[in-house]
């Protein structure tokens, strides 16, 4: 074999190896970007569900309608987005559901929303909040029906849907 033939053969082998390597990388990227079995937003916190909801500072312990509680911190930008989305839902569902935003410490600025905003550091411990933003649905019987991280608008919508279902089941 001549030098040119050997060089050309090695070049084609190298191209084939690089192509296989790239296809493997593309496959791994697709796996990572694809839908997970249970995204972080959709995983409920089972330790809270079914437990009587601890009290919130300044809120009566009796629930006249199902409540949606958003736990947030003032340094969390995603929390501000979820709070705005929750306020939009509150404008629509405010007659049938109660809405609360609970902060661990006073927010940098008072949120421009129409839902009840509380500062209750003890509630974070009482509700065992692992991360913010975190949402909780409490039924009229005071029992937590759902508790999950709400890092996306879809997660807020799932939380509201659960609250509507709880309200529907209570009125049926």
Give the CATH number of the domain where residue 48 resides. 3.40.30.10
Give the whole-number percent of the chain exceeding pLDDT 70. 83
Judged by DSSP in three states, 131 sits in coil
Beta-sheet strand order (sheet of 98-103): 116-119, 98-103, 67-72, 134-138, 144-149
Same domain, 78 and 116: yes
What does DSSP say about strands 144-149 and 98-103: parallel, antiparallel, or unpaired?
Answer: unpaired
Percentage of the chain surpassing pLDDT 90? 11
Encode pLDDT of 106-157 as tens digits.
877 666 667 888 888 888 888 888 888 999 998 888 888 999 899 888 988 9
Say yes or no: 23 and 45 in one domain.
Answer: no
Q: Both 95 and 138 in a single domain?
A: yes
Domain co-membership, 100 together with 78: yes
**Which residue range forms the structural domain that includes residue 158?**
40-171
4 and 75 assigned to the same domain? no
96 and 133 belong to one structural domain = yes
Indicate the number of domains in the chain: 2
- And the tokens for 29? 């990227």
Give 134's contacts (C-beta < 8 A, 6+ positions apart). Answer: 70, 71, 127, 147, 148, 149, 150
Does one domain contain both 96 and 23? no
Do residue 64 and residue 148 come from a single domain? yes
Same domain (yes/no): 166, 117: yes
What is the predicted pLDDT for the residue at 11?
A: 93
Judgement on whether residues 101 and 74 belong to the same structural domain of the protein: yes
pTM value surpassing 0.75: no
161 and 126 fall within a common domain: yes
Question: Do 60 and 92 belong together in one domain?
Answer: yes
User: Across residues 79-108, what is the average pLDDT?
Assistant: 85
First to last CA, the chain: 86
């Amino acid at each position: 074999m001549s030098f040119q033939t050997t060089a050309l053969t090695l070049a084609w082998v190298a191209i084939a190896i690089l192509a296989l390597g790239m296809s493997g990388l593309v496959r791994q990227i697709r796996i990572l970007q694809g839908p997970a079995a249970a995204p972080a937003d959709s995983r409920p916190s089972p330790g809270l569900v079914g437990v009587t909801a601890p009290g919130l500072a300044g809120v009566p312990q009796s629930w006249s309608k199902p409540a949606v509680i958003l736990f947030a911190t003032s340094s969390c930008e995603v929390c501000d987005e979820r709070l705005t989305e929750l306020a939009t839902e509150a404008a629509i569902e405010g007659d049938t559901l109660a809405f609360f935003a609970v902060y661990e410490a006073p927010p940098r600025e008072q949120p421009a929303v129409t839902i009840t905003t509380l500062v209750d550091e003890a509630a974070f411990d009482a509700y065992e909040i692992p991360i913010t933003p975190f949402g909780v649905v409490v039924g009229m019987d005071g029992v937590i029906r759902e508790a999950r991280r709400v890092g996306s608008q879809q997660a807020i919508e799932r939380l509201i849907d659960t609250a509507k279902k709880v309200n529907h089941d209570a009125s049926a």
